[in-house]
Amino acid sequence: MKVYGYARVSTQEQAEEFDALNQQIARLETAGATQVLIDIESGRSDARKQFNRLLKLVEQNQVREIIITRVDRLGRSVMTIHKAMEIFVKHQVNLRVLDAPVDPNSPFGWFSINQMSGLAEFESRLLSQRVKQGNEYFRQQLKFCVPPFGYSKDENQRLTPNRDIHRKSGKTYFELAGEIVDLVLEMRSLKDVCDYIYTEYDVVFSVSGLRDWLNNLALQGHTAYFMKPKPGVNREPIINFHTHPALITPTTLEAIHRKLSANRKYRSSNNSSRGRYPLAGLIKCAHCRGSMYRNISRHRTRTEYMRCVNYSKPGQYSCENSKCVRLREIIAQTIAELCKNAPKLIEHLENQLQQQSLVTQVQNSKQLEKLSHELSVLQGLGSANPDIIHAIAKIESTINQLSTPLPVIDRDGLENAKRKIAIASQPTFWQSLDDEELQCFLAEFVEAVEVDSQGAIAVVWKLYYFGF
């Protein structure tokens, strides 16, 4: 069992500019952490990947001690910290807080940690309230965060046309933005516009970015907030009309919408099968780690190819992987890798079972030694006190229970996983599946399939599923 450290900062800015994350990591390693898990996310979130991984490791009895710099690194919610503490105590994991040494197993330590977690949540709620009030004042003043291309901010942080000169074109940024709008109406597609303005002016736009820019209300002279809905947040958009000079007139806007609608109608289909194919969303580029999209040839064979989404992006965003790889070849190689590696995966599962049983026996032996010592002390008293006799009987019962090692993992689940791998290692099994079934089964085993510029693939298995 290892000694883990856990470090967390809320933003990337804290990690990079203020070096807060590196400071935490250095302190944790100095304190004896053999591995440090890191999250860059708000402590109010329960979806922190490494934090949840730490809890899972604790539940699998792979952790002896956890080291943190402060209690609020575990979270900014009383409930989150309380649940984590319950898991630590249940699995006899020692928690070491460098800035406030307490023993969570003692009543005083438990009280102290709950006080500190309450203070952490209080600070978080107070900060959230101040930010909310500041944002409300910001919107009342019609201020803008990040101006769209063609605009800048004046001394009052409001939008105004950007009159700075663009070096390559010799035009102001506002004039250049107007020219881009004209190009959208003149040229065949948004991709053609993106390629043209990058070649002529070194202005970088992706197709989706250009589409979002055209639909930005700021280009119509309006200052708007909350235009993009967020999951779980129900808030009406706020639109302040005619707050600054417009780049796009209503007539031009209508023409742009007609053009975008015509392009969408040309490219789309009522029977779209996007995402309805084996390994959908799992195929990644080995060079840029970006996704790969499916393209279907117009030939009567309708061959499906996978290609990196970044291959055609301009400038620094471009990926060197321009290889088109047949989807069926990727699927076939993935299945072949699964069949080839099935014995190794099953061996890992068996080793995992043995290791967990050994961990259980070691833990039970420590408890048995402690209880046996307590039992000998009580029996040595030779007392007729009913309470002492009852305590002796209870300890004896506990010793009997611990004498038989109890499984700490889901053996049935791992045995079921072994059976699935054994079945999946048979090529005839895969030949009997249709595309929908293939998609379902492959997603159960595969985390990602990386494809390089030579068409070679590397399969990343769902290691957590296999238990190692």
> Under CATH, which number does the domain 2-138 receive?
3.40.50.1390
d(CA 55, CA 52): 5
Place 223 in a pLDDT band, splitting at 50, 70 and 90: very high
The dihedral sign for the CA sequence 152, 153, 158, 163: negative
Residue among 10, 77, 112, 117 flagged as catalytic: 10
Look up residue 59 and give its two tokens.
């539940």
Place 273 in a pLDDT band, splitting at 50, 70 and 90: low
Contact 34, 383 (CB under 8 A): no
CATH T-level fold of 151-265 = Hect, E3 ligase catalytic domain fold (3.90.1750)
d(CA 323, CA 251): 42
Confidence check: pLDDT of 45 > 90: no
* Domain boundaries defined on the chain: 2-138, 151-265, 329-362+408-466
Beta bridge partners of 325: 306
d(CA 166, CA 175): 9
d(CA 285, CA 457): 9
Residue 330 burial class via C-beta count within 10 angstroms: exposed 0-12, middle 13-18, buried 19 and up: buried
Amino acid 468: pLDDT:
38
Mean pLDDT of the chain: 81
Amino acid 108: pLDDT:
65
The dihedral sign for the CA sequence 344, 346, 347, 351: positive
What b/e readout covers 270-282, taking b as 16+ CB neighbours within 10 angstroms? eeeeeeebbbbeb
Look up residue 318 and give its two tokens.
């471009």
Nearest C-alpha neighbor of 285 from the set 321, 252, 261: 321
Which range (17-21, 241-245, 364-368, 457-461) has the least confidence?
Answer: 364-368
List all residues 6 or more positions away from 182 whose beta carbon is below 8 Å from its beta carbon: none
117 is an active site residue: no
The DSSP line for 287-336 is TT--BEEEEE-SSTT--EEEEETTTT--GGG--S----EEHHHHHHHHHH
pLDDT tens, 155-189? 988 999 999 999 988 999 999 999 999 999 998 88
Look up residue 222 and give its two tokens.
């309006």
Amino acid 3: pLDDT:
92
Look up residue 384 and give its two tokens.
């007729």
Look up residue 170 and give its two tokens.
């010799």
Place 465 in a pLDDT band, splitting at 50, 70 and 90: very low
Place 151 in a pLDDT band, splitting at 50, 70 and 90: very high
Q: Tell me whether domains 2-138 and 151-265 share a fold.
A: no
d(CA 189, CA 193): 7
d(CA 58, CA 12): 27
Contact 176, 162 (CB under 8 A): no
Beta bridge partners of 67: 5, 96
pLDDT tens, 51-108? 999 999 999 989 999 999 988 888 888 888 888 888 888 888 888 888 877 776 667 6
Contact 206, 190 (CB under 8 A): no
Q: What is the DSSP letter of 37?
A: E
